[in-house]
Structure 1
């Protein structure tokens, strides 16, 4: 009996050992092979299965130093204007003036220890009095040094009697999409407000005529932030907060800043020349995509296609031709026209830039000396119009307008006498300062432009001012 029990125990123990060995050495491999086979059959795209080791403060950016430096360089700008309303009977009996003071507010950035301040033109536009409040609550009267409406930049000056904290300009051309930034300003009169975000896009144009090249960010910017600082994580000034696009008038997710390279060039021009010196390449055309490439009959879908070259311009003298595709200017890649126009906004007449173009399938590098803006022309109602040189404006006592240099519109010549030497100053009551304003009208009315011209104001070749009404 004892032998039988021993035999049964040994048999049971052997069975357990055999089953364990099967489970450990064979079944696990089969399951692994089955899972691997199943996994492979379901994987259609490259997939990373690497586990993220940790999240948390180890990788969180630290904005404290940048914010500390920036808030001391950002100021509150108060713009006081005087509006004159019609005198009412109540004003007359009460002996009150019809003048009313209106106050607007915004932000500005100190850019030098001696008190030069950069802000937006629209912040100080129409001001009779400007006051600046520093971060330490000291208040100073400000002098307006100069403005540039096109870039929406203005330069102010205060005399504090001491060295002031100031922002250092960064290189906005080196800013990358996805880079962390801080917006510093005074939204809704809440002073020294700092918000954070990233660069969402570069070279944004909101005008429709490719005259702008904004940095786009998702850092919260609201009314009152205009003229304030956009800084990187080192506290360097990379933009001047300028605009938001919103149906409500408040922040809805993105905002726009004038790049610091453009802003710096504008204020340097104002300080040195009293106005902005614009360097002109002298080409016309359009940015490439799959649709425009088909119409231009080219294979490239990125770059700027040259459809025309301005006579006597730097591009013309350098040998740029119709059909060339501009791929790069200096170190800036060109994927849309605002890339090109934005970089040119940092240049002056007689600056030399290197154009990298595609011509007949091969790449060429062509240096181009930029021209003055006076060489720019535009076609309008079968007339060729040109910007007026500043010297001519001064000698002729003309402050704005575009000159007629050729007229092939026989009706305008026969009926109104408009010919070479005339200056167009207003269209439909809107002041015409340069050919960009003509471009805006052409964009606004399109093919119906001629039908929508109701009034034309000119200065004749003899200096007489005349206006013509179209019925």
Structure 2
């Protein structure tokens, strides 16, 4: 009997030890596998959060509160005020109302960039204003003056008479990464001090507007609506990386696609306006475009990304550096060039006489060359949709003429770009033109109702005459 009891006790102890061993080794290994831990080290604690865990769980470690607090006081409300004088209808004199007053014809946002009151915004926010009213986040209002603006980039610089203001420092937009968290700060629908969050959806996005220079926008899915224009796009450090400018929407309101002028481009424009009074734009001196599948097949290219050089402008920095037709630009300085908007976005942040290192392919061989940028000088004949630039002596010789300006770009979709681009205009309204200043003088002096008569030499060397009414 004693022997039977001893065996029973041993059996029970053995079962307990086996169960403990199972719990210690087999179940612990099972939990480690579920948690995704591949290390052979003993598992110390479970990373699985119980269903009744009371603390908030975030899907990101990003904290927006500090960036919002840093920036919300440096974004202002900009009101575009029209001042009218005299009667607006024939009954106002009869009732003794002289019709004098003010009316808000548009509103947007602006970003304070210095403590003494310089503000950057969009040109379309302030365009046509008789008076500009700027309201700070603390409800103080000021009358703003336009220091300068650039319609091509849609950037304007304002100044208010104030001191010790909160401001947002410029960040380096070249360092922005896809998927990076950003905040949009502005005044949508006249709602002051609104902050929305999103990520960088794309870089160097070109909206392909026919009447504008090739642009290079930062695309974000942070909610941007009417009134956000001119406001700040900032990173989580509270640095300005873009000026919110446009949305793509069939309804006119946010649907997930918003665009900002990169801060490097905006900063360069602002500094140009402050130092020179206008924008100093440097150019490589090439014509070309992004490589497409059709171009790869047609020209037998060895790469599917980059900028294909279709032609090189005579006398330009590109020609002086040895770039040629059919070269493929792959990188400028440390910026990879996958498409044309990558190139324009970076070059637009530079000035004439800046030197950039261009990495390119020629016949499959990789080469590098330093290119000194030349000044971009052009004039838009807006009524007829042509942009003209000064022609080099070589270009004039090629067209067998001693004077004229070249058609640099077509601004309208209904004009044949291949036929007009590169042609030499010799006369406008029967007056000889030798440079863009002559063109500006002739066009600005004509009556709005008068037609514009353009005489030009086409690519076949034949003189043509076109009348635009």
Matches within 5 A, 1:43-62: 50=36, 56-57=57-58, 59-62=60-63
3-state DSSP of counterpart to 2:432: coil
1:323 Cα deviation from its structure 2 partner? 1.2
Q: Against the structure 1 CA distance between its residues 261 and 460, is the aligned structure 2 distance closer, same or farther, given a 3 Å change threshold?
A: same
Provide structure 2 residue ranges, at least 5 long, that are not aligned to the other structure.
1-10, 16-21, 27-33, 38-46, 50-55, 421-426, 434-440, 454-466
CA contact (8 A) 2:387 2:410 kept: no
How many equivalent pairs are there?
A: 390
Matches within 5 A, 1:205-244: 205-208=206-209, 211-244=214-247
Quick one: which of 102, 107, 110 aligns to 2:109?
Answer: 107
Provide structure 1 residue ranges, at least 5 long, that are not aligned to the other structure.
1-12, 18-23, 29-47, 390-403, 410-418, 425-433, 451-455
3-state DSSP of counterpart to 2:411: helix
Please say if 1:287 is aligned against 2:258: no
3-state DSSP of counterpart to 1:247: coil
Report the Cα distance in structure 1 between the residues aligned to 2:255 and 2:267, rounded to whole angstroms: 28
Quick one: which of 152, 155, 159 aligns to 1:153?
Answer: 155
Please say if 1:172 is aligned against 2:173: yes
Quick one: which of 404, 410, 414 aligns to 1:439?
Answer: 410
Question: Deviations for 1:207-227, whole angstroms, at most 9, x for unmatched residues?
Answer: 346611000000000111111
1:298 Cα deviation from its structure 2 partner? 1.2
3-state DSSP of counterpart to 2:238: coil
Report the Cα distance in structure 1 between the residues aligned to 2:286 and 2:418, rounded to whole angstroms: 26
Quick one: which of 298, 301, 305 aligns to 2:301?
Answer: 298
1:360 Cα deviation from its structure 2 partner? 1.7
TM-score by length of 2: 0.74
Report the Cα distance in structure 1 between the residues aligned to 2:419 and 2:196, rounded to whole angstroms: 44
Report the Cα distance in structure 2 between the residues aligned to 1:180 and 1:215, rounded to whole angstroms: 13
Match of 1:123 in 2: 125
Report the Cα distance in structure 1 between the residues aligned to 2:468 and 2:185, rounded to whole angstroms: 50
1:285 Cα deviation from its structure 2 partner? 1.3
Report the Cα distance in structure 2 between the residues aligned to 1:221 and 1:164, rounded to whole angstroms: 25
**CA RMSD of superposed structures (Å):** 3.9
Q: Against the structure 1 CA distance between its residues 312 and 422, is the aligned structure 2 distance closer, same or farther, given a 3 Å change threshold?
A: closer
3-state DSSP of counterpart to 1:268: helix
3-state DSSP of counterpart to 1:291: helix
Q: Against the structure 1 CA distance between its residues 459 and 60, is the aligned structure 2 distance closer, same or farther, given a 3 Å change threshold?
A: farther
Report the Cα distance in structure 1 between the residues aligned to 2:296 and 2:468, rounded to whole angstroms: 40
CA contact (8 A) 1:386 1:405 kept: no
Higher helix share: 1
1:256 Cα deviation from its structure 2 partner? 0.4
CA contact (8 A) 2:78 2:107 kept: yes
